[in-house]
Structure 1
Amino acid sequence: MTLYLNVLGIVNPLGCGKDQVAENLFAGSQDGLIQNDTYIPDQSVYVGTVDTDLPVIPEKHSLHKSRNNQLAMMALQEIEADIQNLISEYGNERIAVVVGTSTSGIGSNEPAIAEKVINGTFPPDYDYQRQATSDLSQFIQNYLDISGPAMTVSTACTSGAKAVASAARWIEAGICDAAIVGGVDSLCGLTLNGFNALDSLSKGKCLPFSDNRDGINIGEGAALFVLSRQPGLVEFCGYGETSDAYHISAPSPEGLGAIKAMKLAKGDHEVAYINLHGTATQLNDAMEAKAVNELLGDHVPCSSTKSLTGHMLGAAGANELGFLWLSLIHQKLPPHIWDGKSDDALAQLKFVKPDDKLETDNKVLLSNSFAFGGNNICLAVKKASPL
């Protein structure tokens, strides 16, 4: 069964909507990485911020009021007309929602949690549902008034990518005819302080694969697609999912799970480009460079876009799949933005330079996502053949 990523709604630190995101993505803009001193006590860090007015959650969905769902709503509004056409064709009970998040709406509940710590009671308007991981898929379902199966995937930094793979299995099994898929995560104190406690945050703007890399920037964003059998511009070619079970927060240094995930995703196709997980941490970049080099050598163009957006955690895999979608539409590649200081201890890779063009020739584009607990996923897409 051939599946397609028919439409894309996207918002992240590169901009709002496909056009603005594409313009800044291919220009290698880091304007969305902004210093912020409100999340971590007595410390300023760079974060990837969506710096625009977000849509207001309608009052009838007040239970779901959170920044996370506002980001989701902005991405949904870009593709809402297409979704309504889909509902007209299949019926609202045959449209699934499969999305990923790691934060859900906890950022919007943090003031209430602080009040509970200080005063012993939650404020009257506190509702746990806003921070439940299920809230994202429930909000999208309620907002669109659809009644098909719904699921929120929460597997840390692979959540948004794993949602797409899960939805593909649902369509292939006949559980639904089409699915709204993707990922959404919003900035919050919990994640920033957590990564700070792990000494994983960069002191400046992150430098993936650089000899000077010192950690990640955290970002926020939303990317939502329609996945269906209806022919479109971008074909969803496959996925590979593996589990290292090596360490709770460190990747297996040999990269065997990453290699297998990429092998499964690409199948028999040649590879035109890889969007690397590329967090700019010491261990991830060493593992990923080794895995990509061992499987594909040093001639396949690749880049990490986290130096443009920050690490969007549960939304990263979906947004970076969106970058592949935009690359195929525009026949351009996202440049690898760093300081150019190679780490001689890393396996060599071919990083995309500004203005490099995409040469597909029926090759696939890959997107890697790796997460805590050693769970790995790689997604593969290509430009659809003319009918």
Structure 2
Amino acid sequence: MIYVNGFACKSALGLNEDEAVRNLSEGKDICLKEMSGFLPGGKTAFLAEIPLYPAPLNRHDCRANRLLNECLNELQPLLEEIQGRFSPDRIGAVIGTSTSAITDVENEVLSAGSEYEGELKYDPRVSEIGNISAFVSDRLAITGPSYSIATACSSGGRAFVSARALLESGACDAVIVGACDTLSRITVSGFFALGALDTGRCHPLSDDRAGINIGEGVGVTILTRTPLTRGYVMKLLGAGSSTDGYHISAPEPEGKGAKTAIRLALNDAGLNPEDVGYVNLHATGTVLNDAMEHKVIRDVFGDRVPVSGTKHLTGHTLGAAGVVEAYIAYLIFRHGLKLPALNYLEHMPSHEFDDIHLVKKPEELRRPVIMSNNFAFGGNNVSLIFGRNDCCD
């Protein structure tokens, strides 16, 4: 069994656990708002930027690492426990991202304006994808396997898959698992160019859905083979992944790769579809993704399992989505929360989805098992299954 010990996470849902619990219960967010400066021509878009206080990190300094550092600070008691139990070379770090420090590079170039000649003021290695995991290892003085994963919107989910492999192979006794993505003009304008960005508030699974809202997100947890003594623990029951390579940005219309990932996760966990208590959908709000995911859920679960999404509350946190949504499962288990509803008021869920069990108003979790799905560019798909701490022994 693989245990998920404690969790620190920040997104538009909240900057701490109490805030996130309250907002998840009430269907609210704290910082999704209309912002300018990310799109050409003075256009605005609904985005989420996490409030961050300055805390320079020397050679690893960048916005993403500062956010990660805040989460590590919150997990200090758990980190001290694993550092007391395991040697540094037996503790690993796997961190997902799709932007790393690109935000800082953008800001430096923009601030330099026409005078910019390509000479960076900081160590360019900070902007490498691998720096985000190197920072975690250096910050904690651990020397076990350490690497970053960048598979677009499945990066955070794949961090769990890779961390579990390190534990099951015997390479590690504990693995720091996390993900972070910050707001970037490249990603915001890129999704806008693809016609996949909703410049108003997104409303996944609705008739008039028009795309995603992008939000910053960061989260960190600790995976072990035996539970730690401090903090709340949930279980990673199963995981499945696939890469169908259908298209660089569009999903395979019938969801073949997504179904494969889900069925592999169920088989890995030794569960039938009806054993799952809730599925947190990828549910981005794009026309093609939501239509594909509907077919997947209909074919695998029918209308037997409650499903909804949470990106209307967090924004799409891209490379951090898998970790942010694992945190939502953690909150539901730990605090006995009702399932998040797709209750947009003026944007009701489409009748296109009447043959699956959409959560349109909060419901009780009736089985202590939650699945979370992330489907990325290039057909890179991950499905994770989590269990409450008292289930599935």
Structure 2 length normalisation: TM-score? 0.92
- Give the match's secondary structure for 2:93: strand
- Give the letter for the 2:101 counterpart: G
Segments of structure 1 that go 5 or more residues without pairing to the other structure are none
- Partner of 2:384 in structure 1? 379
Change (3 A) 1:120 1:6: closer
When structure 1 is superposed on structure 2, of 312-321 and 125-134 the one drifting more is 125-134
The answer to whether residue 335 in structure 2 is matched with residue 335 in structure 1 is no
1:273·1:364 contact (CA, 8 Å) conserved in 2? yes
2:52·2:67 contact (CA, 8 Å) conserved in 1? no
Instruction: Measure the CA separation in 2 of the matches of 1:133 and 1:66.
Output: 12
- Give the match's secondary structure for 2:219: strand
Out of 211, 217, 224, the residue aligned to residue 221 of structure 1 is: 217
- Partner of 1:238 in structure 2? 238
Q: Residue by residue, what CA displacement relative to the aligned partner does 1:202-233 show, whole Å, maximum 9, x if unpaired?
A: 03110100001001100111111100012263
The answer to whether residue 34 in structure 2 is matched with residue 28 in structure 1 is no
The alpha-carbon deviation at position 47 of structure 1 amounts to: 0.5
Instruction: Measure the CA separation in 2 of the matches of 1:342 and 1:30.
Output: 20
The alpha-carbon deviation at position 347 of structure 1 amounts to: 6.1
The alpha-carbon deviation at position 147 of structure 1 amounts to: 1.3
1:292-307 to 2 correspondence within 5 Å? Answer: 292-307=297-312
1:308·1:337 contact (CA, 8 Å) conserved in 2? no
The answer to whether residue 374 in structure 2 is matched with residue 369 in structure 1 is yes
Instruction: Measure the CA separation in 2 of the matches of 1:112 and 1:49.
Output: 18
When structure 1 is superposed on structure 2, of 86-95 and 349-358 the one drifting more is 349-358
2:93·2:144 contact (CA, 8 Å) conserved in 1? yes
- Give the letter for the 1:166 counterpart: S
Instruction: Measure the CA separation in 1 of the matches of 2:363 and 2:278.
Output: 11
- Give the letter for the 2:15 counterpart: C
The answer to whether residue 126 in structure 2 is matched with residue 130 in structure 1 is yes
Segments of structure 2 that go 5 or more residues without pairing to the other structure are none
- Give the match's secondary structure for 1:213: coil
- Give the match's secondary structure for 2:263: helix
2:175·2:224 contact (CA, 8 Å) conserved in 1? yes
The answer to whether residue 291 in structure 2 is matched with residue 286 in structure 1 is yes
Change (3 A) 1:115 1:122: farther
- Give the letter for the 1:245 counterpart: G
Change (3 A) 1:315 1:124: closer
- Partner of 2:99 in structure 1? 103
- Partner of 1:159 in structure 2? 155
Q: Residue by residue, what CA displacement relative to the aligned partner does 1:40-76 show, whole Å, maximum 9, x if unpaired?
A: 12111000221x333513xxx4121111111111111
Q: Residue by residue, what CA displacement relative to the aligned partner does 1:21-53 show, whole Å, maximum 9, x if unpaired?
A: 122112110342111002112111000221x33
- Give the match's secondary structure for 2:237: strand
When structure 1 is superposed on structure 2, of 223-232 and 144-153 the one drifting more is 223-232
- Give the letter for the 2:320 counterpart: A
1:1-387 to 2 correspondence within 5 Å? Answer: 2-41=1-40, 42-50=42-50, 52-54=51-53, 56-57=55-56, 61-114=57-110, 118-119=114-115, 121-123=117-119, 125-231=121-227, 233-267=233-267, 268-269=270-271, 270-332=275-337, 333-338=339-344, 339-346=346-353, 348-360=355-367, 363-385=368-390
- Give the letter for the 1:11 counterpart: K
- Give the match's secondary structure for 2:105: helix
1:99·1:164 contact (CA, 8 Å) conserved in 2? no
- Give the letter for the 2:139 counterpart: Y
The percent identity for this pair of structures is: 37
The alpha-carbon deviation at position 94 of structure 1 amounts to: 0.9
Q: Residue by residue, what CA displacement relative to the aligned partner does 1:314-360 show, whole Å, maximum 9, x if unpaired?
A: 00111001101111112222222434534344463322244422112
Structure 1 length normalisation: TM-score? 0.94
- Give the match's secondary structure for 2:278: strand
- Give the letter for the 1:385 counterpart: D
